Amino acid sequence: MNAAKRKTTYLTTPLYYVNASPHIGHAYANLAADTYARFHRLLGEDVFFLTGTDEHGQKIERSAAAAGMSPQAFADSVVARFQSLWKLLNISHDDYIRTTQPRHVERVQEILRRLHKAGRLIQAAYKGWYCTPDETFWTEGEIGGPTGDPTAVDPQSGKPLCPTCGRPLEPVEEVGWHLKLRDHQEWLKQYLKDNQRFIRPQTRYNEIASLLEQPLPETWCIARPRHRVGWGIEVPFDPGCVVYVWFDALLNYITVPWEIREKEKRTLWPASLHLIGKDILRHHTVYWPVVLRELAGLVPELGYDRDVPLPDMVYAHGLWKVGEQKMSKSLGNVVDPVTLITERLASQPFAADVFRYYVLSEIPFGQDGFFSEEGLQTRLTTDLGNDLGNLVNRTLSMIDRYCGGKIPPSRQEDLDAIGLRGLGDRVRALPESVRAAMEDLQFSLALNAIMQVVTLANQSIEQAAPWQLAKQPEKRAQLEGVLGALACTVRIVGVMLKPFMPAVSDEIRRQLACGDAAPTWEDAAHWEGRNAGATLIRDRAVLFPRPAPAAGQGK
């Protein structure tokens, strides 16, 4: 028996390590996931959006010790910072999983018991290297820093370097519990061939396809001796071992659906999308599929008596860099999103949305990007202030001035007569352009499509020159037609912005007297909204005020 036809769009983010406060790299994945979740809600889908924190392992154990705290107390304090950032950024997750919660720990232990009972675990010795910051094992053949030079060493310690982050590795030799890995190589290769969109974007698909051309290690560790790492989930049948933090963390993607299905009879698994950074691609596209295959028949609670299906898609985004380096706390080059929003953007009533707009529009999703505060300010002044803010402000002010604040009706078939047919066509095509871009998570293209409409609408204002029409009483119908058409444009732009800039979208639609109901896809598809003939709201905030010039500047 298989699960009933799945209706829920289930998407996940990585679980963030709680060794330090979140930075914009962490905010990025959650913003992208939030936008995706909101977009699919706008489409009318049932969405379940999961995020959370990865709280076990050596790295957190060491950070807690350095802070003179117990690992749990330390994790609690850092989790509070993550959660307040998600609130600040308006992240709309449906659940927040902490890997230290009993609901997760108990299911991880149950999974281990079942794997052990089914004879799928191997007790094996491991000799190789370990990257503590990445909590990842590397074999002798894989070391060599980002350049791939196996002789490269850290100048201070003389230790070889991690192939992904370039930091010094530690030698490890230990006996733990493992799953078979090499045995899975052939089916996984074939799976990739048969499912070309399993890994996106294409560069990441190619990376894993070529990795699978080389033999994988025989096994993958899932539990480590307690004397090496004390902070972790105890292995129920071998208390001398704790669960390897990556195995523990990956399982969150099914421990939550397991719980939800028990409580709500709602089937979430398989995930529609695992959104991750490219530095954790291998864990999600090699080790995780292998874990799921090993779980075949062991977790009927997910809705599958036999094979557990793989997630529909793993999408790996690029990294935010500062200079040539990845932004990371241990490299000391982080940009703190809280400072950015609450201090640098303090003059902005919709600061979080300004930040959301910047990170989503600045780089094509999937590629690396360079954060710059000037870049952020430029986007704010040009795209948001001069284009979007200006369009909304001009349109509404003219409706106030020339129509007493009453939104004039507009019919699409009348647009030809007032020279706005081109604008009407572009607005009508907008939802589909955004949908097409979002199918491959191209947030920047989706925003670009919206901003092109904004630009065209601003040009249309110049061409139609309502202030001239207003001087000629015989052009009254034309004036109202133009302002009505602009009101429709602004409303539809407002609806389409909802996933990207939720607060700005709400404010635009509030000002246009659209009511409080959440916007729907239907609202974007209809030229004239239910607010035609309504009166604009009087107390209207300027969406993107210009920052006051610093003392001594300007006239």
Q: Does 441 bind ligand MSP (CB under 6 A)?
A: no
- Binding-site member from 249, 341, 464, 492 for ligand MSP (CB under 6 A): 249
Choosing from 8, 9, 26, 341, the residue that interacts with ligand MSP (CB under 6 A) is 26
Residue 316: enclosing H or E segment and its boundaries? strand 314-317
Among 250, 268, 292, 415, binds ligand MSP (CB under 6 A): 250
Contacts of 269 (CB under 8 A, 6+ apart): 3, 10, 253, 254, 257, 302, 303, 304, 308, 309
6, 9, 14, 335: which one binds ligand MSP (CB under 6 A): 14
Q: How far is the CB of 256 from ligand MSP (least distance, A)?
A: 12
How many residues form the binding site for ligand MSP (CB under 6 A)? 20
Tokens of 444: 């920047």
Cβ-based neighbour number of residue 262 at 10 Å: 10
- One character per residue 524-553, x = contact with ligand MSP (rule: CB under 6 A): ------------------------------
At closest approach, how far in Å is the CB of 494 from ligand MSP? 29
Q: Give the distance, in angstroms, between the CA of residue 423 and the centroid of all CA atoms in the same chain.
A: 32
Least separation in angstroms between CB 152 and ligand MSP: 22
Element (H, E) at 111: helix 102-117
| Part in contact with ligand MSP (CB under 6 A); list of ranges 197-205, 320-328, 534-542, 543-551 | 320-328
Q: Which residues contact 81 (CB under 8 A, 6 or more apart)?
A: 21, 22
311 near ligand MSP, judged by CB under 6 A: no
199 versus 469: smaller Cβ distance to ligand MSP: 199
Torsional class of 409: left (φ above 0), alpha (ψ -120 to 50), beta (otherwise):
beta
Q: Per CB under 6 A, does 29 bind ligand MSP?
A: yes
**Residue 131, SS3 per DSSP:** strand
Nearest to 450 by CA among 384, 393, 394: 384
Q: How far apart (Å, rounded) are the C-alpha atoms in residues 357 and 378?
A: 12
At 159, give phi and psi (nearest 5°): -85, 150
Among residues 465, 455, 460, the alpha carbon closest in space to that of 422 is found at 460
Whether residue 88 contacts residue 343, with contact meaning beta carbons closer than 8 Å, is answered with no
Shortest CB 273 distance to ligand MSP, Å? 13
Output the smallest distance, CB 59 to ligand MSP, in A: 9
In the complex, least distance from residue 277 CB atom to ligand MSP, rounded to whole angstroms:
2
Is residue 402 a contact point for ligand MSP (CB under 6 A)?
A: no
Which residues within the stretch 267-306 sit at the binding site for ligand MSP (CB under 6 A)? 276-277, 279-280
- Contact residue for ligand MSP among 6, 8, 9, 15 (CB under 6 A): 15
Binding track, positions 52-91, relative to ligand MSP; x by CB under 6 A? --x-------------------------------------
- Contact region with ligand MSP (CB under 6 A), list: 11-19, 85-93, 409-417, 425-433: 11-19
Q: Would you state the structure tokens that stand for residue 459, as one six-digit string?
A: 């040009």
d(CA 85, CA 25): 13
For residues 88 and 78, give the distance between their C-alpha atoms in angstroms, rounded to a whole number: 16
Per rule CB under 6 A, is residue 326 in the interface with ligand MSP?
yes
Residues that bind ligand MSP (CB under 6 A): 14-17, 25-26, 28-29, 54, 249-250, 276-277, 279-280, 319-320, 326-328
